[in-house]
Structures are given as C-alpha cells and as structure tokens.
Amino acid sequence: MTTRLLVLEDDDGIRSALALALEDEGYEVLQHADAEHALSTVADERVDLMLVDLMLGGMDGFTFIRRARPLSQAPIIVLSARNETNDIVGALEVGADDYVTKPFVVQEVSARLRALLRRPATADPDAAAAAGTAAVTATSRQPVTVLDAAQELVLDLDGGAVRRSDVEVHLTVTEFRLLCELASPPGRVLSRRTLLERVWNRGFFGDERIVDVHIRRLRTKVEQDAGNPTLVVTVRGLGYRLDVR
C-alpha cells in the first residue's frame, strides 16, 4: 500500500517542491495550503504521515495539530522558520512528533519521514505494510508486558498497541516507541540522550527537553495520576525508568 503523506504548507513553491520530491520517493502526496481543508482530509481520508507548517493564514499550525490529533495518530513533522525552543516544545506539546526548521533540504525531511515510518508492526497487515520495517523487534522483548496489573494495562508488542482492560490506549508513534524502549526491559534507567538517539533514530539534534515533553504526554495516557507518576518515573539527574507492577 502506498504511504499517504499530507503536506500543509501555504508557500506554493515549498509545497510543490516537497510534493514533487516526495512523490519521486513513492509517497502519495495530498497537498493543502490552508488548515481547514487539510483538517477535513484528515477526518475523511486515510493519512499515514503529515508535514505541517506553523505559520499559516487563518488557522495556524498549532491549532491544526491540536484539532487533528484526536482524528488521527499519524506521525506529524512540523516545518517552520520559527526555531525558538518555546516554539519547538509548544508544537510537540500539542501533538507533533518531530520538528524541522526552515530553510531545510528535502533529503533531511525524507530521512525524518523514514525514521517515523520505522514504527512497531501492528496487527493490521495493511498498516504494517504502510509503516515499512518495524523499529521495534520482538527478539529481545516480551510480546506482551503487564505494565500495571491494577489498571489491567498491558503493552502488546506484536499488536503494536497499549491496552487498558482490552480497550486500546491511543498513543502517538513517538509515545509508543518511548514506552517500548523503557520496557526493554523495565527497571533500567535511560538517559534523555539515549532515548533521543533510540526513539528519533539519531534524526533529531535539538533540545533534549523534547524527551520530557513526550514523557509528560505519555504519562497522561498510562498513569493513574499523571501529576504523581509511579509507572514512568523520573530518576533525578539520570533520566527515566519504567516501573511495572
């Protein structure tokens, strides 16, 4: 199945150049210059990846990501001339998976896309085909790990999902990969730099605090009390550890 890529960019030159280059790499590109129409596409059609500019006329990129995230768990890469840490962290907070600053070269964007597609295999063969080679293999990991018995919270590696009482907990690609790294095996402390290199496949060289942002988002979905985490815990000065129970 061809991977469907949504490009939301109001600069016609940049959008067209991206579309031409990425179509040559085999993507089916859905082009949009405004966020409202792009949001309709996300709601009505299958989208496997998104490239989103932040500075748009009308609805901005932050708002688009915030509204698109409940509709789709497809990985989102932000493309923006805004390179302040607050902008990067803000985009990740609302649901983006990666951030590329302008000006950029298409080869860098393509590499980031390939990194995000190396996601855990799912139970759906079509989704697995679209995702390409799995980033997480079962060779050294338990197919099913009980994260929290009281919550009936389990990590199903073969199914590419986290479930609470047999109901899937919707994680983004990055959140899922973070959890897989922390669970392989549980109880180890992993530094921010280690997580950054493993989860982003050495493809992101920015502020290590992006790991903290994604950990906070992950906690809101897997912890009983995200403000007092007992599953994904912080080890001061060292990093993060997964404590299963």
CATH-assigned architecture of domain 4-117: 3-Layer(aba) Sandwich (3.40)
pTM score, whole prediction: 0.66
Which of 72-81, 114-123, 195-204 comes out lowest in average pLDDT?
A: 114-123
Which of 62-66, 129-133, 181-185, 223-227 comes out lowest in average pLDDT?
A: 129-133
CA atoms of 94 and 239, how far apart (whole Å): 23
Domain range annotation of the chain: 4-117, 132-242
DSSP state of 3: P
CA atoms of 150 and 217, how far apart (whole Å): 21
pLDDT digits (tens, 9 = 90+) for 105-133: 888 888 888 877 765 433 343 333 333 33
Answer whether 4-117 and 132-242 agree in fold.
no
CATH number for the domain running over 132-242: 1.10.10.10
Dihedrals φ, ψ of 162, to 5°? -115, 135
Residues ≥6 apart with Cβ < 8 Å to 80: 53, 54, 55, 61, 87, 91, 99, 100, 101, 102
DSSP state of 85: H
Residues ≥6 apart with Cβ < 8 Å to 167: none
